[in-house]
Structure 1
């Protein structure tokens, strides 16, 4: 049986690559090269400056791999003729011939045979072992085919793992212990709603073969006095022990407030750490990995999507689209990548501004298909559902889109990225009051994370008739390369009587987005659901000096 290709081999992709590497190196006669440093660089994508004393990844993964092999040989691999083990204290595999169980046959007279010891060693030792090694080599070769062929690689890449430790009870009382335990469980619950991270509790870490060591640790403490409580929480990067984020929370010692405090603190922690543009995202976005393994490369594709969103540059979009397409081919069950790919296809539809509406229909079809694939893989993946909502909206299935949006916000009300986008869809569909309230709430809970909050709030103020406030919000937005930003600015300035600013926006649009100017009525119509809102906005653009066909 080929171990790495076996579905019964309970190991992660990283552990399978580990096994394949050390087997191939040994078979090639390079066993002396198998060291922690070489494995870290060639298998795990660490840099040449890797230090095994400060980064225990190889030692930890070796422990996981040993357990995985033991489990395999105790179950479906119990009849394999060759045992592969990795003795503790090193990483060079050892191949052992395991004789088959003898089959009982009728007894026959024994015929004495005299075979020199050397012949025994020659026949039973190297010959059998070489045959076994050849089988192992075929297994390794097959694994390369499996890992290199997209349609054969089920699963998803490894995403950030966060170990949530028990909060320290600084007071030492049972009441404090109960509060600390309840808070920890609430934090785990809220963090787990974010599907782009994996939350781990100490009880299930240990040396389990199927769980990779977490890169982040969330720790905290609880201190209760007679009148008040204080909670301290911090996120630690295990690689170097650095504190990436820390916060303190205080409150009164009243039963109702304590219960509410657990929910509020957990919500704040989850939003700060796990959401798009949160602490974990920023940490990984700033992390450079030389020669990254496939799973890290696929994961960083999702990070590159969010970097692309600010400038909305067509060339960057093309690169990110290609990267995500490769990721879903490599990891066909990666729901987040499918969702982000759908969003890219939707951007192809709404930002290319073709004169012929049929020319962009294919992009919208691809967006719908990719979004539905994401939701099929993981029905509660927020990015997949976000993509489905947007694709449905631009496909003029407004009610279906808003229904998906409401359900998704209920799944994870702490995802302020989605809260703002759902609020935007509600607003432009005509429900300006509720939609703009959600956008304002998202902005308040996560200020500065997205320049689109300010542009959306400017649009809200515009449709609310407060053009001065609309101008204030649009000046705060940094989405200067997004053409829709300039449409909003032109309309708001024109209605507010700011002729110089309105003319500047008109000139920018004519120079940088001539296709948008030519098709401006259609572009406004596919974004605003109500005909009344379309005419109002188009009228303001005319005041700004844009020529809009009736």
Structure 2
């Protein structure tokens, strides 16, 4: 016997992620786009009714004169989506399913759970449950609790409740709301074990402590944050957030602040990864040093740190160290989504056809085939539909292969699952550049920059190219300088020359022009994203020396 319970937005998102990752939906952009649209609508406007006109105009680009009596396209697509959902659940039966009720265009999530009817069973369960609840209550009062478990060996962050220093006791609810939101958002990165402290006086083992003070909350918010090492209280990250409360919506304010804080702390190249880099890599990190010191789990995390270090400047030697590190631990990461996606992201860059780095500098055993990496990315996303990094990897591979519609679905799913991850927004900006959606490319890249404590150089490139196409010279110059500040090689030199020409820096133009003229293909590393004619024409005009060759062919 079953009963239904109400479903949360997160549960609906999780189930939609599973659907989008399935073969049935991955192979149909029409079904995926409609499902994604209805899901995003349910998140953005909960409780509002989705109409046939809304779908026609906002998703299908029908005009104001749309007449459903003449054009039945919405009803046809909704019917096909219902049929696809029924077929999926026929193959994947279970208590959770997404439905579209009759005479409705809104997604609903049904969750059925077994109800036990034997009173003796109920009594036994009731007694056990009361005992368990009593134990849990005592435990929470005296100790603390982990959010959903992450593999052993990953750093532990102890999050204390916010100290309300406003003098207004009615704001105490904000203390625990922000604490839990920070914990939830940090957990989405998958790289850290998050320990929520219900009693700030307790002394439990951790690698880091995160403390915050609420200084004011009214029309304006004033909040200070400190992340320190637990062993010696070394400051890793500190900031103070001042600004207006969003329309007096404290919950949205908490979410926005938490996304910024966790994105800056835990994102690729952020202060926590830099701290771990400094602690684990004093000097050369040799293969012999990888395994014995702290244990397998910690060594996996060290490999992830080395992978992040590679993305600083795409140095082949940094790639080699990360690659050899992962080779040592591969037998131990089969059930670890963040480790698998990190490994997948690394080998994705070792596909010569994608031309994402100087693969000629790698040894032959480090090179990977395009179809092998694509199969691995899809397999990881299907196995871990809750992992934003899995969809980030899948979307990156799809973008590199020219599967732009599929890539957009995957990357938007990655951003939705972890909106605080700057890398998700950055990779989405590259996709928009490939699609020649220049304003969207700039907007996504700028979100990535705001979410980064120290933005990695690759985030700036889509702004350089998109602003160049749009004739926004000031923005292109600023982004170009940020990009080349940490980059070397032919591509960086070509961008330097573009910036010099935009600034009319004659001395720099004279110095760089002959250097770029001697290069065979100065923009070669960017070719995957220079697909559209508008983009290529802007590059030819700014850099006539660049032989762009033929645009990448779509599959």
Which of the five TM-score ranges fits, normalised by the shorter chain?
0.5 to 0.7
How far apart are 1:195 and its partner, in Å?
1.6
Structure 2 residue aligned with 1:486:
493
Cα 1:220/1:491, change in 2 over 3 Å: closer
Q: Work out which of the residue numbers 185, 188, 196 in structure 1 matches 2:183.
A: 188
For 2:528 and 2:247, how far apart are their aligned partners in 1? 51
SS at structure 2 position matched to 1:277: coil
Mapped contact 1:339–1:370 kept (Cα < 8 A): no
Structure 2 residue aligned with 1:239:
231
For 1:204 and 1:380, how far apart are their aligned partners in 2? 30
Q: Work out which of the residue numbers 134, 156, 159 in structure 1 matches 2:154.
A: 159
**Does the alignment pair 1:178 with 2:191?**
no
For 1:528 and 1:175, how far apart are their aligned partners in 2? 54
Cα 1:294/1:407, change in 2 over 3 Å: same
Cα 1:229/1:469, change in 2 over 3 Å: closer
Q: Which moved more, 1:288-297 or 1:272-281?
A: 288-297
For 1:389 and 1:458, how far apart are their aligned partners in 2? 22
**Does the alignment pair 1:384 with 2:379?**
no
Deviation readout 1:396-451 (Å, 9 max, x if unpaired): 11111111111111111111222122112212321111111111232234364212
**Does the alignment pair 1:315 with 2:312?**
no
Cα 1:548/1:196, change in 2 over 3 Å: closer
Structure 1 residue aligned with 2:427:
421
For 1:447 and 1:216, how far apart are their aligned partners in 2? 18
SS at structure 2 position matched to 1:218: strand
Mapped contact 1:341–1:367 kept (Cα < 8 A): no
Larger radius of gyration: 1
Give RMSD over aligned pairs: 3.7
Mapped contact 1:452–1:479 kept (Cα < 8 A): no
Structure 2 residue aligned with 1:263:
255
**Does the alignment pair 1:337 with 2:339?**
yes
Cα 1:426/1:250, change in 2 over 3 Å: closer
Structure 2: any 5+ residue segments left out of the alignment? 1-149, 282-288, 361-365, 551-555
Cα 1:272/1:316, change in 2 over 3 Å: closer
Structure 1 residue aligned with 2:302:
300
Mapped contact 2:246–2:252 kept (Cα < 8 A): no
Mapped contact 1:336–1:374 kept (Cα < 8 A): no
For 1:418 and 1:524, how far apart are their aligned partners in 2? 19
For 2:233 and 2:526, how far apart are their aligned partners in 1? 50
How far apart are 1:193 and its partner, in Å?
2.2
For 2:263 and 2:420, how far apart are their aligned partners in 1? 6
Q: Work out which of the residue numbers 271, 286, 296 in structure 2 matches 1:279.
A: 271
SS at structure 1 position matched to 2:313: coil
Deviation readout 1:17-46 (Å, 9 max, x if unpaired): xxxxxxxxxxxxxxxxxxxxxxxxxxxxxx
Cα 1:420/1:206, change in 2 over 3 Å: same
Mapped contact 2:264–2:270 kept (Cα < 8 A): yes
How far apart are 1:268 and its partner, in Å?
2.7
Count of residues in correspondence between the two structures: 381
Mapped contact 2:264–2:451 kept (Cα < 8 A): no
How far apart are 1:533 and its partner, in Å?
2.6
Structure 2 residue aligned with 1:401:
407
Cα 1:402/1:187, change in 2 over 3 Å: same
Return the TM-score normalized by structure 2: 0.59
SS at structure 1 position matched to 2:456: coil
How far apart are 1:490 and its partner, in Å?
4.3
SS at structure 2 position matched to 1:383: helix
Structure 1: any 5+ residue segments left out of the alignment? 1-154, 355-359
For 2:189 and 2:465, how far apart are their aligned partners in 1? 29
Structure 2 residue aligned with 1:168:
163
SS at structure 1 position matched to 2:349: helix
Cα 1:324/1:502, change in 2 over 3 Å: farther
**Does the alignment pair 1:459 with 2:459?**
no
How far apart are 1:508 and its partner, in Å?
4.3
Counterparts of residues 45-194 of structure 1 (less than 5 Å): 156=151, 158-170=153-165, 174-194=169-189
Deviation readout 1:273-328 (Å, 9 max, x if unpaired): 22222232122111138734332222111111121122322233233223223333
